[in-house]
Structure 1
Amino acid sequence: MPYTFEPEEKHAKAYSELPISVKSAEIVCRVIRKKPLKRAKRLLADLGTKKRSLGGKYYSGAVESIGMLLQSCEKNAEFLGLDNERLMVHASAHEGMRARRRRRKSTFGNMLKRAKVELMLIEKGKSDKVPMEKIKEQMKEAKKEKSGAE
């Protein structure tokens, strides 16, 4: 499955189909999205130890699974040589493959929960790109030199 988007900055990815409900995965991902890595890890730890809640719920299964995936993504970022201080979390959850727990003969089983969760750690901060103001100043200087030469 392709990722939902490809960031222009340096990034590390982790993706998994987890046995958690899609609704709880979406809620937890929405909370940690666009947060620095340290803050997201602290938030997940607080939810896991039940120091903090999200609307009165702790989402312990989703928090545990997403926390393991975040650790994996952090190791990927470390291997790629990204700066831990400048990493921002992008998290999203989607509906996974449907499976049915089977029963004997004519009785039907129930559906198993699956959620596709993707995490990206994107390195933000000072980029190698030249600011637009500098480019405009250089263009003005070039025009002045060109008009001055004539």
Structure 2
Amino acid sequence: MYSQQIKGRVAKASSHNLRISVKNAKIVCKQIRGLDIYKAKKFLEDILNKRRSINGRYYTKTTKEILRILKSAEKNAEFKNLELENTYIAYIAPSDGVHMYRLRHKRTIGRKLKTAHLGIVLKEREKRRMEEKHNEKEKQSKETEKEMEELPKRQEDKDNTEEVSEKNR
């Protein structure tokens, strides 16, 4: 079901033969891929409540199914003792499901029903990376503070050199 093998602490959830279009599922999945769980859930709930749209459309049927599977993946992550604040959607992708035909009276084939398979993988962010990012921000703030402190000193040095050069003339 999953086209990628993701290493590390992960939680998975999948569903087969959902009554949604693969095309619409790809559009919605692209919007939430890489987001934290809570941000993704809020985004999908806003679409369901029609507070937000994707390209002017709401995709309610697709969004409802994706939200259901995302909640299942969240429960799996909770069961595996992953920190939910640090988990994000590492992989989410729909794929074609079985095509079913609805029979019609006095027609040979009928109407084609589209189904899709959907897989979600949640991954916990590594603490080292988060700490490194935090440390980098602290270093940058310290460097800017030092530069701000040195700025008046540089101005004084420039003034002193100008005075010396004027005396030498």
TM tier, smaller: 0.7 to 0.9
Between 48-57 and 93-102, report the one with greater CA deviation: 93-102
Please state which structure has a larger fraction of its residues in helix.
2
User: Which residue in the other structure is 1:138 paired with?
Assistant: none
User: Which residue in the other structure is 1:135 paired with?
Assistant: none
Structure 1 length-normalised TM:
0.79
1:97, distance to aligned residue in structure 2 (A): 1.4
Instruction: Give the Cα–Cα distance (whole angstroms) in 2 for the partners of residues 56 and 125 of structure 1.
Output: 36
Q: Which amino acid aligns with 2:8?
A: E
1:92, distance to aligned residue in structure 2 (A): 0.7
User: Which residue in the other structure is 2:32 paired with?
Assistant: 32
Identity of aligned residues (%): 40
User: Which residue in the other structure is 2:69 paired with?
Assistant: 69
Question: Within 5 Å, which residues of 2 pair with 1:107-146?
Answer: 107-126=108-127
- Contact 1:13/1:119 (<8 A) preserved: yes
User: Which residue in the other structure is 1:85 paired with?
Assistant: 85
Between 19-28 and 102-111, report the one with greater CA deviation: 102-111
- Contact 1:9/1:124 (<8 A) preserved: no
1:125, distance to aligned residue in structure 2 (A): 2.3
Instruction: Give the Cα–Cα distance (whole angstroms) in 2 for the partners of residues 4 and 35 of structure 1.
Output: 19
1:9, distance to aligned residue in structure 2 (A): 1.4
Question: Greater RCO between the two (CA within 8 Å, min separation 6)?
Answer: 1
1:96, distance to aligned residue in structure 2 (A): 1.1
Question: Is structure 2 residue 10 aligned with structure 1 residue 11?
Answer: yes
Instruction: Give the Cα–Cα distance (whole angstroms) in 2 for the partners of residues 25 and 42 of structure 1.
Output: 17
Q: What SS class does the counterpart of residue 44 from structure 2 fall into? A: helix
Superposed CA RMSD in Å reads 1.8
Structure 2 length-normalised TM:
0.71
Instruction: Give the Cα–Cα distance (whole angstroms) in 1 for the partners of residues 47 and 122 of structure 2.
Output: 20
Instruction: Give the Cα–Cα distance (whole angstroms) in 2 for the partners of residues 82 and 24 of structure 1.
Output: 30
Q: Which amino acid aligns with 1:62?
A: T
Instruction: Give the Cα–Cα distance (whole angstroms) in 1 for the partners of residues 107 and 71 of structure 2.
Output: 43
Q: Which amino acid aligns with 2:101?
A: R
Q: What SS class does the counterpart of residue 127 from structure 2 fall into? A: coil
Question: Is structure 2 residue 98 aligned with structure 1 residue 97?
Answer: yes
What count of residue pairs does the alignment treat as equivalent? 128
Deviation readout 1:52-107 (Å, 9 max, x if unpaired): 00000000000001000101111111111111011111211111111111234653
User: Which residue in the other structure is 2:143 paired with?
Assistant: none
